A and B are shown apart, each in its own frame.
Chain A
Amino acid sequence: KQEVTQIPAALSVPEGENLVLNCSFTDSAIYNLQWFRQDPGKGLTSLLLIQSSQREQTSGRLNASLDKSSGRSTLYIAASQPGDSATYLCAVYSGGGADGLTFGKGTHLIIQP
């Protein structure tokens, strides 16, 4: 059974810092991995999607890496801004089950102005 863990559970940093969020998964047989952002009272917004054959994806100040064999992914946020404050969720697709994503519990990020 696939399990996804995110560390840290919460993080507070001053504006302008670069930061790394970590995600690990127990079964390396994944098809893809996605990073999402969730704002309070809102749905999820997909940030980056990495296929199992890829090593990383970049979008603006965000860079996500994937090391499938070791079951790890990181989300790097450069030059953080207060608007980046949100909960960041990592999810993997492994097939089976109800054909849906398996999510971690998220990292609650606060960027201090």
Chain B
Amino acid sequence: SQQGEEDPQALSIQEGENATMNCSYKTSINNLQWYRQNSGRGLVHLILIRSNEREKHSGRLRVTLDTSKKSSSLLITASRAADTASYFCATCFRDDKIIFGKGTRLHILP
């Protein structure tokens, strides 16, 4: 399967701590995208990282991409209650297909 796989499946941390989620995939990609989904709602795009990029930042979010290891990580710094959500990586291929992983459920504890 070309599907990206997130790790861990679920993560609970205290508010203020950093949260790290990983995504691994099996075949060469053109870009990789991270999305957030709040309970049962639509997905919100967070960051797109191209295959020739190694790191991108957006506010408290930091995404890295290691194409040699076929993996990406999403770091959320100084977590807040509002960060509680499911996070998905989407691996994107030359034929423009996008494959989503099953997500990491992040729970921020007060």
The answer to whether A and B assemble together is no
Q: Give B contacts to A, CB under 8 Å.
A: none
Q: Give A contacts to B, CB under 8 Å.
A: none
